[in-house]
Amino acid sequence: MRKAKALLFEMGRSGRQGYSLPSCDVPEKPVDELLPKKMLRTEPLEIPELSEVEVIRHYTELSTRNFGVDTGFYPLGSCTMKYNPKVNEEVAALPGFACMHPCQPEHTVQGALELYYNMEQHLKELTGMERFTMQPSAGAHGELTGLMVIQAYHRNRDDHKRNKVLIPVTAHGTNPATVTMAGYEVVQIPSDDRGNVDLAALKEAVDDTTSALMLTNPSTLGLFEEEITEMARVVHDAGGLLYYDGANLNAIMGYARPGDMGFDVVHLNIHKTLSTPHGGGGPGSGPVGVKERLVPYLPVPLVGKKGDHFYFDYDLPESIGKVHSFYGNFGVVIKAYNYMRMMGAEGLKQASTDAVLNSNYLASLLKKTYYIPYDRIRKHEFVVSAKPEKKKGAGAGDIAKALLDRGFHPPTVYFPLIVDEALMTEPNDTESKETLDAYAQAMEDIAKDIDQDAEKVAAGPYHTVVGRLDEVRAVRNPILRWEKK
């Protein structure tokens, strides 16, 4: 196991100094003449005293403990951890963007408004929607915004009975959470034996209380819904709407559009599909697009264009109002826009082609050793079931830890819920064949280790900074700051 380094507090030695200030060029005064006495410390501040090089080494060492796409393969399913070209960061940091203030008058931010406007045109083209809001700051936020728009639509038609949202059993956890937050009842629809939403069960569940069907396509199993247009017809015929969770759009860009499949509302996770940094709770962006009949309910303002002038359009009397301060996470939108412009339509299509190819290639390698249910051509991700390995003594979570020992970020574990001991694997478009081969080899080695000594695998990891943690305690009772003994 990598030895945990001493804390700064343990390393500090009295009198050591990590800074030097220029000499004072104004008359010096005692501090109690400058500040009221009651505000002065009575005891010195307890901070460790260290040299500059000690501090630098400490933080540099800490930074290497973080695992990101910039350090290694990161096949975290349902998350699209693709490489973020660094030029995006440079563009977003241009002073004209980075030094702008959201309260600046409209005529001084014409370039930013133009970028928003153009971005909307691109997203419309990519998805087949009529208008987009950029306000939501994540996928889950987009889901809530989209459902509020759907709610406003039904309400405006005096259709007050629609209190249910249908979601498949494979849905990402944010979907049922959002449905509940929006005040709806969740109705779960089972999958059939090909991994599709069970059409017969859907038909049974749909009625005049259905507000919407909320769906990710391809699903979290990485499978494209084979009956999607028929599903859309069933829901629409009953007066319901279709909500598209676009977190998996990386699988279909340039091949299929949610608008053409029959969806009325979509959110996109541009912090996944369009390459802007994702994870660690950092800023995201989940633009929401709608078909024409839902445009009046979108959050205000939208960005309009008259001649050469771009403006904030507040003229939407039925709007659900604002869902974000100012206009959304502009920095993320800049990066996504830059990525789209660099890739072009053909480049985005190629990204999806590569994501699907990588997923099918890796699945074909892992199939030699592991059980992969719903075995048909998949899109961007696939789910391994480690149920047989679990029976031998080491399951999905243990395999994930063993991958950490081999320098790989593990796939998503124990999700989707319909697969026992799930390892949901999304290699995405930016990985080479050599990386996929190395990962498959690691998985094969782990399977052999389980055959030989499952107990040992189940007690790992052995080469990380900390070993096996009590994960529940780590979440419920994290100790995040130093306390003096």
Ligand X SMILES: Cc1ncc(COP(=O)(O)O)c(C=O)c1O
CB-nearer residue toward ligand X: 170 or 210: 170
Q: Which pairing describes strands 210-215 and 164-168: parallel, antiparallel, or unpaired?
A: parallel
User: Least CB distance from residue 3 to ligand X, whole Å?
Assistant: 34
Number of residue whose CB is nearest ligand X: 139
**245, 264, 381, 429: which one contacts ligand X (CB under 6 A)?**
245
Q: Which stretch binds ligand X (CB under 6 A): 16-24, 134-142, 182-190, 352-360?
A: 134-142
User: Strand runs (DSSP E) across 344-483, as ranges?
Assistant: 382-385, 412-413, 422-425
Q: Which stretch binds ligand X (CB under 6 A): 49-57, 102-110, 244-252, 256-264?
A: 244-252
Distances from the Cα of 49 to the Cαs of 18, 21, 414, in angstroms? Answer: 8, 16, 45
CB-nearer residue toward ligand X: 78 or 84: 78
User: Least CB distance from residue 242 to ligand X, whole Å?
Assistant: 15
DSSP label of 111: H
- Cα(150)–Cα(297) distance, integer angstroms: 8
CB-nearer residue toward ligand X: 389 or 428: 428
- Taking residues 268 to 307 in sequence order and writing x for each that binds ligand X by CB under 6 A, - otherwise, the string is -x--------------x-x---------------------
User: Least CB distance from residue 139 to ligand X, whole Å?
Assistant: 2
DSSP SS3 for 89: helix
Distances from the Cα of 172 to the Cαs of 219, 226, 239, 286, 463, in angstroms? Answer: 9, 19, 25, 15, 32
- Cα(123)–Cα(215) distance, integer angstroms: 19
DSSP label of 247: T
Q: Which stretch binds ligand X (CB under 6 A): 136-144, 226-234, 317-325, 360-368?
A: 136-144
Residues 200-239 binding ligand X (CB under 6 A) are: 216, 220
**119, 140, 288, 340: which one contacts ligand X (CB under 6 A)?**
140
**50, 69, 79, 396: which one contacts ligand X (CB under 6 A)?**
79
**48, 75, 139, 289: which one contacts ligand X (CB under 6 A)?**
139
- Cα(129)–Cα(125) distance, integer angstroms: 7
CB-nearer residue toward ligand X: 76 or 340: 76
**174, 338, 358, 428: which one contacts ligand X (CB under 6 A)?**
174
DSSP string, 276-329: ----TT------EEE-GGGGGGSPSPEEEEETTEEEEE---TT----SSSTTS-
The single-letter code of the amino acid at 156 is N
CB-nearer residue toward ligand X: 211 or 269: 269
**152, 235, 247, 266: which one contacts ligand X (CB under 6 A)?**
247
The yes or no reply on residue 120 touching ligand X (CB under 6 A) is no
Please give the structure tokens belonging to residue 18.
């990590």
CB-nearer residue toward ligand X: 81 or 442: 81
Of 284, 283, 221, 217, the C-alpha closest to 251 is 217
**69, 78, 320, 398: which one contacts ligand X (CB under 6 A)?**
78
Distances from the Cα of 207 to the Cαs of 153, 214, 271, in angstroms? Answer: 17, 15, 35
The yes or no reply on residue 172 touching ligand X (CB under 6 A) is yes
User: Sign of the CA dihedral 48, 49, 54, 60?
Assistant: positive
- Residues facing residue 302 across a β-bridge: 313
CB-nearer residue toward ligand X: 79 or 446: 79
User: Least CB distance from residue 248 to ligand X, whole Å?
Assistant: 6
DSSP string, 31-79: HHHHS-GGGS-SS--------HHHHHHHHHHHHTT---TTTS---BTTS
Q: Which stretch binds ligand X (CB under 6 A): 37-45, 137-145, 289-297, 437-445?
A: 137-145
**119, 138, 253, 457: which one contacts ligand X (CB under 6 A)?**
138
CB-nearer residue toward ligand X: 149 or 446: 149
User: Least CB distance from residue 79 to ligand X, whole Å?
Assistant: 5
Taking the CA atoms of residue 105, residue 111, residue 114 and residue 120 in that order, the dihedral angle to the nearest 10 degrees is -100
- Cα(329)–Cα(192) distance, integer angstroms: 39
- Cα(374)–Cα(326) distance, integer angstroms: 45
Q: Which stretch binds ligand X (CB under 6 A): 94-102, 183-191, 240-248, 414-422?
A: 240-248
With CB under 6 A as the rule, give the number of residues binding ligand X: 15
- The residues binding ligand X (CB under 6 A) are 78-79, 138-140, 172, 174, 216, 220, 245, 247-248, 269, 284, 286
